[in-house]
Amino acid sequence: MTTNGRTQEPTSFPTLIQIKAVIPTYLFETNLALSLYYVIKDILLMFVLYAALLILESMLPASFMCVIFPVYWYLQGTMLMAVFVLGHDCCHGSFSKYETINDVFGTILHSMVLTPYYPWKISHRNHHKNTGNIDKDEVFYPVRERNDNGNNFAFLFGLGIGWFVYLWRGYHPRNVCHLNPLESMFCNHVTGCTLSIASLIGWVGCLYYYACSVGLWGLLKYYVIPELVFASWLLTVTFLHHIEEETPWYSDDNWNYVKGALSSVDRDYGWAHDVIHNIGTHQIHHLFSRIPHYNLEDATRHFRKNFPELSRYRNDKIFPTLLRLYKKFSSQFRIRNETSFHVYT
């Protein structure tokens, strides 16, 4: 296989209990104070970036700002991705041990990045329950009845726009609208989904009043473009953690939780790896989603030490990897045998 540290698919897998036994129990513990520290830190950094941009904009000629703005968009979009990951911790109960606190902060944080928290929480948990299962997973699975996956989305998933398309209509053929609390997937969570959607509408109202103050161009350059950068980050991360050459997909009759979780791929995001809260340590996150983001690296070290043959990680540069795998994904998947699926050119 091309994945670092592995030569072939294992013929047997340990149980989840056996894997959990090699990870110190303290790494599973949540710390509300520490989680709040990261929330405050990230929001302060976002305000610092915004304030610095306003100062530079008042001091420098427009020709200089043509260089400054792309830097701001990239950095602020990365910070929005960090905020999303903190909300993602809330979704999994790794933000705190209190479900109400998790849902309140998750709703606030995800509204800031135009994501309906509770509906996404339900669909994302479905992804975790079915990772690597071609018949039940949420997104970026090979579509059985079509070879050409590329017809389902624009180049590189619409450079972020694809995230909002997914929220609106799901991923073919398992379609779901995250803005409709009456979807069958959400039937037992109508209240939570409705409150999250109401919070999102409230945030859009705040953006409207902000646009009234700074103008449409101000809204675009200060918020909308960084939001698209965030969405591009999110699509890239989601895609690269579950797609790689020789990475298996399993049909439902040959899938189990451990095999599916171990089909995900760890990746390193360079300077941004810590900024976006170690979400690249994805195998251990899928095995034990209750581990807080600040303990993922340590837990991963214990896992790799004890199960090197199961570790699936890549250190390739992210953008060239995205281009390489997008090309493969948008061409076709071929079935290797009756029960497992691999990406082939």
For residue 19, pLDDT over 80 is answered with: yes
The amino acid sitting at 243 is I
Which pLDDT belongs to residue 171?
81
The pTM of the full predicted model, rounded to 2 decimals, is: 0.90
pLDDT digits (tens, 9 = 90+) for 194-223: 999 999 999 999 999 999 999 999 999 999
State the Cα angle at 147 between 141 and 153, rounded to 5°. Answer: 60
Helix (H) or strand (E) holding 340: strand 340-342
Which pLDDT belongs to residue 3?
52
Q: How many CB atoms lie within 10 A of CB 38?
A: 19
Q: Under DSSP, is residue 151 helix (H, G, I), strand (E, B) or coil?
A: helix
Mean pLDDT of the chain: 88
Q: Which residues of 284-293 are buried (b: 16+ CB within 10 A; e: fewer)?
A: bbbbbbebbb
Give the tokens for residue 164.
């909002």
Tell me the β-bridge partners of 340: 250
Which pLDDT belongs to residue 148?
45
